[in-house]
Amino acid sequence: MVRYTTRQLAALLVILLASPAAAFDDTDLQRMVALNQCEACDLREARLAGADLSRGALPGADLRQADLRQADLSDARLPQARLAKADMSGADLTGAVLGQADLRNAILAGADMGFADLRGAELSNANLVGARLVRAELGRATLRRSDLTGANLGKIEAIDADLSGATLIGANLIRANLHKAFMGEADLTGAFMTEAVLSRADLAGAVMVEADLEQANLRGAFLNDVDFSQANLVDADLSGADLSGAILYQTRASGANLARVTLSSASLSDADLSGADLTGALADASDMTAALLVGATLTKADLDGATLDRADLTGATLRYANLRGAKLAGADLSGAVLRKANLTKADLTGAKLEGADLTGAILCGTTLPSGEEENGGCRE
Amino acid sequence: MMRIVLCLIVFATPALAFDERQLMALKAEGQCIACDLSGADLTGADLAHANLWRADLHGANLAGADLSGANLRDANLAGADLSEATLSEANLKYAALSGASLHAANLAGANLLAADLVAANLGEADLTYAYLAHADLRGVSVAGTTWRNATLSEADLDGVDLSDLDLTSTALRNTKVAGATFCRTQTPWGQEDSGC
């Protein structure tokens, strides 16, 4: 190991601190400071912490690894600027134009980017913890694996944005437009997404535990294997969405529109789906143990092999539903409409059927509440 | 009160646009707000500290006139001859000066906020401490001008030839310089020769 004396170390430190080997072009820096504008100039590693660059024009500027902490960049024009690894924590970027800018690995923690134009910008791996992006334009922007913990993304326009693998724990996405956005594997634990638009978005494998999605639009979204445990989907529109393999444990989804959804192998135990519309849903092999389905519409739903033990289906409509081999032990079907439902090999042991309408239902190999097997509807 | 002496008033042509009574008012009271003095010959007139707010002086001859400290806010001076006039500390905010000749005029400390100077001639003018923020200077001639401590922030300098000027102490924040010519121009960032 090389040993240095205190004097040598001090000398080395002085050299390192006084080193004029700054990466930026000094003329460009002075020009930028005087004019508050500089096209495609070289400002790499420039120390601009706290600088007033508001309404500055820096298109295509090279600000890689620049120190822009607390800088005022409000309404600045930075299209196609290179800001990779720049430190912009606490900076004011309200209304800034950053279209197509490269902000990879940039530090934007606590930055204010309200109304900023970030269309097509590259923000992969950026640190946006606690950043404010209210009403920012993020169409086609890339935020892959970026950290947006606690960020305010209310009312953002982020159609086709890529947020895959991003961390959005506790983030505010109220009324955000994320139509067709790619959010696979994103962590949205406890995110506030009331009235957010996620139609046709891809959220496969995302974590949405305790997320608030009340009245959100998830029409036709890809929600395979998404964990919605204890999430709020009350009055949300999920029609046509693919929820196969999703976890909706203790999820509140009363009044939700789940028409034509795919819930194959999904787990919905203890979920509240009362009054929800599951018309034509494909829910084969799904687990709805002890789920609340009071007054739910399951017309033509495919529940082949589904587990509905102890589920509350009071007053539910199951017309033409396929309950072949479904487990309904201890389920409450009082007043439920099961007209022409297929209950072949279904298990109704201990189920309540008071006032249930079983007109035309197929009972073949069906275990009745009494435990007896009914084969009256078997076709030879 | 201010002393107003109109030295050379020439009513040469019969088709005068301005009202003679207004000119008398200016003489007597030192003010002529919003009055019509278009085309008037006020060559060498002493109008120091006169109040000519919103006055129409377009095409007027004010060569060599003393307008120091005058209020010419919102005045129309388009096409006026202000060559060698003294406009130091004058208020020219929002004034229309397009096509005016300000050759060798003294504009030291004048306030030209958002003034319209399109295609005006400022050659040899002294603009020390002049304030020209947001002014429209497209196509002005500025050869031999002095800009010490002047402010050109947010001004539009499109098509302006800044050759051989010293702008080292001139405020240029957000000034539109994209279409300006820099050659041997002394700037806060050193000599700029990009347009030589």
Q: Do A35 and B175 touch (CB under 8 A)?
A: yes
What pLDDT is recorded for position B8? 39
Check residue B2 and give its pLDDT.
Answer: 46
| pTM passes above 0.95 | no
Please give the Cα distance from B139 to B119 (Å, whole number): 5
What whole-number percentage of chain A has pLDDT above 90? 89
Contact between chains at B174 and A34 (C-beta distance less than 8 A): no
Q: Is the pLDDT of residue A63 over 80?
A: yes
Rounded distance between C-alpha atoms, residue A274 and residue A208, angstroms: 21
* B153-to-A34, A88, A159, A161, A195 alpha-carbon distances in Å: 10, 26, 38, 38, 45
pLDDT of B1 reads: 44
How high does pLDDT run on average in chain A? 94
Residue B33 has pLDDT above 50, yes or no: yes
CA dist A142 and A308 (Å) reads: 42
Band of the pLDDT at A12, cuts 50, 70, 90?
Answer: very low
pLDDT of residue A15: 41
Backbone angles phi, psi at A13, to 5 degrees: -65, -45
Give A-chain residues touching B185 at CB under 8 angstroms: none
The answer, for B83 touching chain A at a CB cutoff of 8 Å, is no
Whole-number pLDDT of residue A290 = 97
Q: B177 and A36 in contact by Cβ < 8 A?
A: no
Under the banding of pLDDT at 50, 70 and 90, the label for residue A18 is very low
* Interface membership of B157 toward A (CB under 8 Å): no
Shortest distance between the Cα of A110 and any Cα of chain B, in A, equals 27
**How far is B105 from B174, CA to CA, in rounded Å?**
26
Of residues A322, A372, A329, A313, the one with CA closest to residue A343: A322
Quick check: A36 contacting B, CB < 8 Å? yes
The pLDDT confidence band at residue A137, using thresholds 50, 70 and 90, is very high
Q: Do A36 and B173 touch (CB under 8 A)?
A: yes
- Under the banding of pLDDT at 50, 70 and 90, the label for residue B10 is very low
Query: Confidence band (pLDDT; 50, 70, 90) for A25?
Result: confident
- Cβ atoms of B145 and B166 within 8 Å: the answer is no
- Selecting from B174, B187, B188 the residue whose C-beta is nearest the C-beta of A37 gives B174
ipTM: 0.78
Q: Check A35 against B173: CB less than 8 A apart.
A: yes
Residues of B in contact with A39 (CB under 8 A): 178
Q: How far is A36 from chain B (nearest CA, A)?
A: 5
B174: which chain A residues are within 8 Å (Cβ-Cβ)? Answer: 35-37, 55-57
Least confident of A214-228, A305-319, A364-378: A364-378
Position A167 pLDDT exceeds 70: yes
Tell me whether residues A56 and B174 touch, CB distance under 8 A.
Answer: yes
Minimal-distance CA residue of chain A relative to B177: A35
Task: Assess whether pLDDT exceeds 60 at residue A11.
Answer: no
Distances (CA, A) of A61 to A34, A91, A272, B172: 16, 17, 53, 19
Residue of B nearest to A55 (CA): B174
- pLDDT for res A225: 97
Mean pLDDT of A293-301: 98
Q: How far is A112 from chain B (nearest CA, A)?
A: 22
Is residue B113 within 8 A of residue B131, CB to CB? The reply is yes
**Per-residue confidence (pLDDT) for residue A14, from 0 to 100:** 42
- Contact state of B172 with A57 under an 8 Å Cβ cutoff: no
Cβ contacts of A55 on chain B, cutoff 8 Å = 174
Q: Does B174 touch chain A (CB under 8 A)?
A: yes
> In the prediction, which pLDDT does A40 show?
85
**Probe site for chain A from B174, B177, B193 (most A CB atoms < 10 A):** B174
Structure tokens at B82: 């202000």
Interval A84-90 mean pLDDT: 98
Residue A367 host element (H or E): strand A366-367
